[in-house]
Structure 1
């Protein structure tokens, strides 16, 4: 084959414009799996239509139009992606990322291989996410390097990418860790071996953007776990803070209710103790009898009447002072006992006392006191 023929074939398969579009060169995927192919383009093509074409020679290739292939343009990141669903062996072949412009369309080729068996180079998912300042880990099965789409790589045999580390994870698994993530780390990367590449999209979110996070088994993010733990602690503290005033109020209400029940029980017991049969029979001085009995019921003590010619006065004075807190003034009235009993009766019942009492009336005084105390 002459040099002229080789040059012609090269020009036919790699026309001008390839430097403006970038993608991987070869992808292998297992049958019935989904594969996404990223095509990065120059800013000057942002407003032009993008498409995928298929064919061994560019000028003879045709647009892929079946419904299992979809193209989505992300103009904010200058990348469009072609996603093939439920890949079939017959989908294997040469594809072209291309942009529709006037004149010759810029394009770049890639080779897609669909296999019956599991592909040697693979990842659990082509999309991973992490938070700013956090870490993200990708497990690349059958890979030896981790690279950016534009070509910078790091692998077992050396190389470097900023804030990126690789290590063996047993067998042929390459563990890739991106640490201290920054927003500019978002984008397309790929795992690679000597034969093919597998694209992986990394999305870096703001530290508090929890709603956009989706868990993915192909990576782990330690700071995210800590953020979730702190958030749960915050929720528990908030709940406890809200429950504390309710608990205190409930305890206070229970104590008040208990005290009220105790008071009612004491009043009920006092009423039971004040048996009407304890009143003495009619002795001609009904008001004296009433005062003595009322004094005993009120204070719990029997008045001492020995040595005092006016025993009822003593009882009524003491009882009046016990109930009202004031010293009774009895001077100037030769019937001090009647006055004090009248005052005492009026204090207890709110009614003026009829001093012409009988033994039955004594019971009425007792009844008034018992009824008032029951209230």
Structure 2
């Protein structure tokens, strides 16, 4: 009976290793996360994949606890099993397998979880590079760098295309992949005489980085471009408000200048009337009509009185101080109100011009 079981194991194991490829032994420290790649033939792409655990394949059971997850990448014909927060009790034999009718193609590996730091290790199981560029992997405690299907390069002088290895001090193996190509993407591993450590290399198309460097006006990184775009968007949003504010400011200045010129014109009429010695309301009306185009009245009240002029200038009704008969306000009283000085009819023409200039300056302020 035992011989029959052993024969069945050997037969299923042999057939499985022809279709599924993985590493044979992984050593990892407790509480670390480890990812195991399982490569399969294209003909198994559409079948379910799983990981089982047990010393004998036919007696192994599915690994279904929450710390183990399976991801199938059918584009690259590989599925990965990731174990998080590994425990010493997780040590044992595991099987990469594909569900088929009759028998399941499979490949085995041994996982060794230790309390101490593993002798063979890498800083990260994933590295990335761009077409035409280089990537470097530091393998601690390793002697070789290999592909999953077996081609290796190491300190023993064997070579691998566009791959170079060198000692980086101590037992560190420095691996450099240069002039990367898209087909270089895939799973590799660092190895020593006892175990292997899988490493995933991803090569990205060069267009993803050169599109930011061909035009010097753009940042060399997507982050820099995004930051510049946000600044341009903000400035674009602020531009209408800036233009509107400038237009409103110009209109306000223009309106203020028109108002100032209007006041100066009215003052000029009044002062000119005083300097000529004529405070007749009819003459004042005529001067204002020329300077300000103010509407005339009709009939007896068609005169523009200095009382009305004062109200135009100040917005305040002038107390009547003039002739009681026609109820007019003398321009000299308006002059006194505006300047604080009594009108001196004996002033020379030059002095009166200076007085007028003083009034204009006050109005402009």
TM-score for both structures, normalised by structure 2: 0.63
Matches within 5 A, 1:279-290: 279=274, 287=282
Confirm or deny that 1:226 pairs with 2:171.
no
Confirm or deny that 1:363 pairs with 2:306.
yes
Closer/same/farther in 2, CA of residues 347 and 52 from structure 1, 3 Å limit: closer
Confirm or deny that 1:200 pairs with 2:199.
yes
Secondary structure of the residue aligned to 1:138 is strand
**Corresponding residue for residue 47 of structure 1:** 46
Q: Which shows bigger deviation, 250-259 or 92-101? A: 250-259
Q: CA RMSD in A?
A: 4.6
**Corresponding residue for residue 235 of structure 1:** 229
Closer/same/farther in 2, CA of residues 233 and 32 from structure 1, 3 Å limit: closer
8 Å CA contact 1:50–1:99 kept in 2: the answer is yes
8 Å CA contact 1:279–1:363 kept in 2: the answer is no
Closer/same/farther in 2, CA of residues 92 and 9 from structure 1, 3 Å limit: farther
**Corresponding residue for residue 294 of structure 2:** 349
**Corresponding residue for residue 65 of structure 1:** 63
Secondary structure of the residue aligned to 1:226 is coil
How far does residue 23 in structure 1 lie from its aligned partner after superposition?
A: 0.6
Secondary structure of the residue aligned to 1:119 is coil
8 Å CA contact 1:276–1:363 kept in 2: the answer is no
8 Å CA contact 2:148–2:188 kept in 1: the answer is yes
Looking at structure 1, the residues matched to 226 and 33 of structure 2 have their Cα atoms a distance apart, in angstroms, of 36
8 Å CA contact 2:281–2:306 kept in 1: the answer is no
Closer/same/farther in 2, CA of residues 232 and 100 from structure 1, 3 Å limit: closer
Closer/same/farther in 2, CA of residues 124 and 362 from structure 1, 3 Å limit: same
**Corresponding residue for residue 32 of structure 2:** 33
Looking at structure 2, the residues matched to 356 and 78 of structure 1 have their Cα atoms a distance apart, in angstroms, of 106
Looking at structure 2, the residues matched to 122 and 168 of structure 1 have their Cα atoms a distance apart, in angstroms, of 15
Secondary structure of the residue aligned to 2:220 is helix
Which consecutive unaligned segments of at least 5 residues does structure 2 have? 1-5, 210-218, 315-362
8 Å CA contact 1:345–1:351 kept in 2: the answer is no
**Corresponding residue for residue 114 of structure 2:** 115
Closer/same/farther in 2, CA of residues 278 and 178 from structure 1, 3 Å limit: farther
8 Å CA contact 1:345–1:365 kept in 2: the answer is no
How far does residue 11 in structure 1 lie from its aligned partner after superposition?
A: 3.9
How far does residue 8 in structure 1 lie from its aligned partner after superposition?
A: 7.2
8 Å CA contact 1:346–1:353 kept in 2: the answer is no
Confirm or deny that 1:258 pairs with 2:253.
yes
8 Å CA contact 2:273–2:284 kept in 1: the answer is no
Looking at structure 1, the residues matched to 163 and 48 of structure 2 have their Cα atoms a distance apart, in angstroms, of 35
**Corresponding residue for residue 143 of structure 1:** 142
8 Å CA contact 1:146–1:154 kept in 2: the answer is yes
Report the count of equivalent residues: 300
Closer/same/farther in 2, CA of residues 141 and 271 from structure 1, 3 Å limit: farther
Looking at structure 1, the residues matched to 283 and 301 of structure 2 have their Cα atoms a distance apart, in angstroms, of 12
Kindly provide the CA deviation profile for residues 109-146 of structure 1, in whole angstroms up to 9, marking residues without a partner as x. 22221111111222233234455555544333333333
How far does residue 24 in structure 1 lie from its aligned partner after superposition?
A: 0.7
TM-score for both structures, normalised by structure 1: 0.61
